[in-house]
Amino acid sequence: MTTFEIKDEFYLNGAPFKIISGSIHYFRVVPEYWQDRLEKLKALGCNTVETYVPWNLHEPDEGKYCFEGQLDLRKFIQTAADLGLYVIVRPAPYICAEWEFGGLPYWLLKDAGLKLRFDNPEFIEKVDRYFSQLFLVIGDLQISSDGPIILFQVENEYGGYANDKTYLKKMIKLMKEKNVTVPLVTSDGPWGDMLENGSVQSEALPTINCGSKVKEHFKRLRAFHEKKRPLMVMEFWIGWFDAWEDKQHHTTDAELAAAELNDILAEGSVNIYMFHGGTNFAFTNGANYYEKLAPDVTSYDYDALLTEWGEITLKYRAFQQVIANYTEIPKLELSQKISRIHYGMFQVEAKTSLIANLACLAEKKTHNYPLSMEELDQGFGYVFYQSSIGKARTVEDFRLIGCMDRAHIFVNNQLQAIQYDQELGESLSFELAEPVNDLGILVENMGRVNYSVKMNHQKKGISDGVVINGAFQSEWSMYRLPMDNLEQLDFALAWQAGQPAFYRVQVMIEKIGDTFIDLTGWGKGFVVVNGFNIGRYWEIGPQKRLYIPGPLLKKGQNELIIFESEGKAGNQILLTDTPDLGKTECKKC
């Protein structure tokens, strides 16, 4: 039997072992490319791959589980094993990861008695049930059963959230009850009280997350350990993520990062975060909230060693040179040749408004007050609220109370205003000119906050109500719009300028490759390629083009559907082989 132990060092089959790992999130990469990304990880000189596990995708609705397709975690781990890689699994319940709600399922917010990430009976019970399913899928892949998994992580950066040690011990107990037998670790920042708050040293090895000053942080970690233990940076941040409205794509200096890597490997083990970032497909991006809401862009490029689209970078080569000082770099021929293709311009051939299609996309739900997205049993996307607001008159005080995150306000299908984040709740005034007037409100979930104290207040849609001239409006019709059923669209229905609308583009191709969609001239929305939502776009940037992995395309006719919420649609789109992030690829690679 193969063994992996934590003593004064890591030991594999009784011999000291230096973990050289890189992060790849299987859920941010199409499965057809898992092999390619893992091969490039091994060719870097890594012996291990690390991945988070997003609870909110594996249990999208309470009691309903998915471990197939892009969520086939078992297949991803087995693919790594076939390449001779070991695996570190960080299984939730919370992952952060710049991921929607930090990986927590939206439906947790429906339970008023539930306290997130604390020793709360309701929360513990739901984690327990989920762990029963998760470890049934991957439990036999532990190294103690001759599988590739060498470590599991307990929670994630808990010391930056709370210091409930009873909760942490219950998480450990749950994992062991599910027959977790490999060693456990925790990971926290090395600042302030984070290590003290998030560690249970008797049962899990403390590791740290940081991007610089490694020698200083290792000194702190060494002093924190109760006895001689291995030093490890579980997240060596080699780049950063982008949020909408950032001035530019975040990058870091390759040589400085490589020098920090050398400092880590001289004393301990590492997990490079991120080796390959991938993509926040569909509506899976998270958000931060400090002074204002900062939702993350669709690309999770992270200035990683591989680009979002999987190309080797100059930073990759700089890291490889450092790793070569600590282990032999394997000679590995890549099994896939992935090309990027410029397909050219394509015209919009059909369009139809959202409002005309509401009955096609959603079953109307009525209630005497507006319900939040969570109360409507919906995790992602949009909700459209409608109410008849009476006769012609002046509305002097119109307010959205408890509304998140972005709202388009219509009267008689004419846009009156758009409110976003801190603007929500501001008073508006307008004239009602018709004998009977209808109010419509399209509310978008821009991504639930994935870090810090705002996580406890992430209900989307309208939670409290709508005030008209000093009083709450009653009698509402609501339409759930997760946008996962666009085959129901009727493009024969009316289109109206300035309204949120869908646009169809037919793309005929003879050769399949990766490409990027350029939406210059469009405002804000998302793009669906042959039924797969590749993510959001927004003209404010910094991201201007969306990545389309080749496996989403097919020879012959392809259907692209673009939802444009701002009424700024163009008449055409460009499919190009050139991304827009300004990454420094390694041209000789």
Q: Which residues contact 185 (CB under 8 A, 6 or more apart)?
A: 151, 152, 153, 154, 204, 205, 206, 207, 232, 234
Task: Please give the order of strands across the beta sheet that includes 471-472.
Answer: 428-432, 393-404, 461-468, 471-472
Catalytic residue among 98, 157, 260, 566: 157
d(CA 549, CA 571): 23
Catalytic residue among 50, 155, 235, 308: 235
Written as six digits, the tokens of 336 are 């896939």
The answer to whether residues 232 and 269 touch, using CB atoms and an 8 Å cutoff, is yes
- Collapsing DSSP states into helix, strand and coil, what is residue 383? strand
Q: 326 φ, ψ to 5°? A: -120, -15
The burial of 338, by beta-carbon neighbours within 10 Å (0-12 exposed, 13-18 middle, 19 or more buried), is given as middle
d(CA 273, CA 424): 36
For residue 475, indicate whether it is catalytic: no
d(CA 193, CA 491): 57
Distances (CA, A) of 219 to 119, 215, 222, 350, 561: 32, 6, 5, 62, 53
d(CA 547, CA 55): 25
Q: Which residues contact 192 (CB under 8 A, 6 or more apart)?
A: none
For residue 157, indicate whether it is catalytic: yes
Q: 397-416: b or e for each residue (b if 16 or more CB lie within 10 Å)?
A: ebbbebbbbbbbbbbeeebb
A 10 A CB-CB count for 189 gives 18
As annotated, the active-site residues are: 157, 235
